[in-house]
Amino acid sequence: MGDLGAVLRRVDDIRDDLTALYQDLHAHPELSFAEHRTAAEVARRLDALGLEVTTGVGGTGVVGVLRNGDGPTVLLRADFDALPVQEQTGLDYASTQRGTDPDGNDVPVMHACGHDMHVTCQLGALDLLVTAREQWSGTVVAVFQPAEEIGAGARAMLDDGFLDRFPRPDVCLGQHVFPFPAGTVGLVGGPSMAAADGLKVTMFGRGAHGSQPENAVDPVVMASATVLRLQTVVSREVSGRDTAVVTVGSIRAGTKDNIIPDQAELRVNIRTFDGRVRERVIEAVKRIVRAEAAASGAEREPEFEPLHSFPLLVNDEQATERTAQALREQLGADRVLALEPVTGSEDVGLFGEAAGVPTCYWFFGGVERGKYLAAREAGTLSRDVPSNHSPFFAPVVEPTLTTGVTAMTTAALAWLDSR
């Protein structure tokens, strides 16, 4: 693995610049496939580091190639899109940005999932690798991916000829900031992040004046009954030995209190770890929606539109152990945690799957350690430690940033050849 200490020695020198970059990215988030400012800044920095830079891959994706003699090819991946969330962190660098969502709505935008931290850490790791070329050999393919939040970015880059245009990797590596103690990392071998399916469900009624419900087929009542009944899918149709989540994240209907509308829209999110369970849950959701529509006397069948689909993320067991061992040697065994599978979802695994090579994707903590331990002791983690996608989610800058840079650099060197 070369002299890792020599590679990491400069982390103190670049910390201030990386902190400023992180805060700038956090203050200027962009929605999926609209990450033009972010992509331009990434490309500028990659060019300054001397990498071969390609922009516009899969829309707004950026790829930097660092060639350093013969040896393995390691793919490093960071995602850089944000979410339609109104930030409430109160930070000096909090986002006030707005954007247009896929339905044409003007929405607030926030880095509520830490992708700004992912980008910053990957650029930091590349800086360290560039300035310590004498310690390693091989090729690094640095992927900065758009549209992870909608499960479309990795596929878009692959469909844009990624594997033909850039060196084919021997392993795919990546990381995600998560709400556990900063300064630690965690890994899961095997199935590690759930498959996810998003559905837009449109239920059709018959509109009428609010004073004359007898003339209507009320889609608000129909949709409300459906939301409640969907809560029985996991509790009554999935074995206690399996894992599934069904969430109705959005319900929309009507424009005025005295008008019964003619349709309602639900947005349903489904998470599973097993293909058989996935099929059963999706069919149960559709069956219940149709049944509630029929029970309400709907004159038109509901419509189902796929919104997104994330594959199950499977960490190669051997690749995960190899990476974990390198992290333990550098960070200390007490700072490398064995985690349980996460019900969140990721599309990073598509790169390894398409290339036919192992994937290892790990997590690094972003919560001030004392705050986390106090909340755990009090049994208030869900209340006092904001999770990803919360309007209050904001990783503490340090030691999160230094840990993320160190982890990605260490993992890359575990797969590159030593000199």
Positions at the binding site for Mn(2+): 113, 115, 149, 176, 389
Show binding-site residues. Answer: 113, 115, 149, 176, 389
3-state secondary structure of 163: helix
Q: Which helix (H) or strand (E) holds 308?
A: strand 303-310
Which ranges of 51-201 would DSSP assign to H, the alpha helix? 115-130, 153-159, 162-165
Query: For tokens 């190669």, what's the residue?
Result: 316
C-alpha to C-alpha distance for 6 and 195, rounded to whole angstroms = 40
Question: How many residues are given for the chain?
Answer: 419
Task: Describe the crossing of helices 317-331 and 397-415 by its angle, rounded to 10 degrees.
Answer: 120
Task: Describe the crossing of helices 115-130 and 11-27 by its angle, rounded to 10 degrees.
Answer: 150
Q: Token pair of 57, please?
A: 């891959």
Phi and psi at 31, nearest 5°, equal -70, 170
**DSSP letter at 206?**
B
Dihedral-angle region of residue 289 (phi above 0 means left; psi in -120 to 50 means alpha; beta otherwise): alpha
Is there a contact between 268 and 230 (Cβ–Cβ < 8 Å)?
A: yes
Dihedral-angle region of residue 253 (phi above 0 means left; psi in -120 to 50 means alpha; beta otherwise): beta
Phi and psi at 348, nearest 5°, equal -60, -30
C-alpha to C-alpha distance for 52 and 377, rounded to whole angstroms = 49
Strands 359-367 and 171-181: parallel
**DSSP letter at 340?**
P
